[in-house]
Amino acid sequence: MTEKPSSAGRNLREAVSHRDITPFIGIYDTFSATLAGQHFDALFLSGFGFAASYYGLPDIGFIAWPDIVALAQRIRCVLPQHHLMVDIDDGYGDPEVACHVVSLLESAGASGVILEDQRRPRRCGHFDGKQLLELDQYLDKLTRVLDTRRDLLVVARTDASDGREIEKRVRAFSAAGADAILVDGLRDLQVIRRLKSFVPQPLVFNQIAGGKSPRASLSGLSELGVSLVIYSTPCLFAAQQAIAQAMQELQNSDGLLAASSAHRIDVPQCTAVLQDNLARRDSARGSHFLRKAA
C-alpha cells in the first residue's frame, strides 16, 4: 500500500503529538515571517498584525479572504518547512465561504486555521464589544469546515466570557470533532485546568501584550494542560517600536544615517536574509519538480 504523502497539516499534527507545548509566533508579512522563522519553527499569520500592516486599520473585520490567502502563499513559498497557522476570523462570512477559504489555504500549504464563533461586526478577541453566533450556527460552519479539509488542523475558538457558556461551547466543539480548542480573551488561567479535565483535544492559549489574558510562561501553561500557544503580536509591536525610534534618530541627526555597526542593519545584512529566502524557494521548487518527475 502506497504511503500517503506528507502535508503541512500532517506535519503539524505529528509535531503536536510529540511535543509538550508548541509556541506559534505571530507575524504580519513575509519579511517578519522570515525573521521569526530563524528562531521558531511554528508561525501564526495574525489577523491583528495583518489588519495593521496591510490595511493600517484595527482588527475589527476589514480583512478580505483573498488577501490573507495571498500572504499565506507568499510565506509558504520562502518558508516551505515551517508550521503555519492562519487566523481566518469567522471564516469571512457564511459556511460556504469559510469552506472555500480553508480549501485554498490548505492548497497553499497552510498547516492549520483558527475559526472563531463571533458574529459580525467582529472584534479582536481582546477587544470589548464582541458578539457570539448562536451555537448551532457556529457548529454548522465548524462541521462543514472539518468535512472540507483534508489534513489541515482546525482550531475551534470561542470568544465567550461567561464560565457556563465557555464550558457549553467547548464541550460542543469537542463533540463536533475540532482538532484543538481555544478560549480567547481568557482572564482566569485556572479555567484551562478545568477544561482539560474533560476535553481530549489539545488546548490553545493566545498571549498578546496588553490583552485581557494574564502573562504566563510556556512551562506554566504546559503544566495547566495547554499544548499550543499563540503569540499574536511580538513582531508587529517590535517593528512599531524600532521604526518609531529609527525615525526619531533620523530626525534628531539632521538626516544623517547612523553608521553601520553590530547594532545596525545595513544593506548587506538585509540582503543576506533575502538571499536565504531565494535559496529556500528555489530548493523547494526543485524538490517539487523532482517529486513530480518521479
Supply the pLDDT for residue 1.
45
Q: What pLDDT is stored for residue 290 in this prediction?
A: 44
pLDDT > 70 in the chain, percent? 90
Mean pLDDT value across residues 17-42: 96
- pTM, 2 dp: 0.89
Distance CA 49, CA 32 (A): 10
Spatial distance between the Cα atoms of 201 and 135, rounded to a whole number of angstroms: 19
Beta carbons within 10 angstroms of residue 36's beta carbon? 24
* Mean pLDDT rounded to a whole number for the chain: 89
Distance CA 36, CA 26 (A): 8
Q: How many CA atoms lie within 13 A of 15 on its CB side?
A: 21
* Structure-model confidence comparison of residues 57 and 213, the more confident one: 57
Measured in degrees and rounded to the nearest 5, phi and psi for residue 231 equal -105, 100
pLDDT tens digits for 242-268?
A: 999 888 888 888 777 766 554 577 888
Cell of 248: 526619531
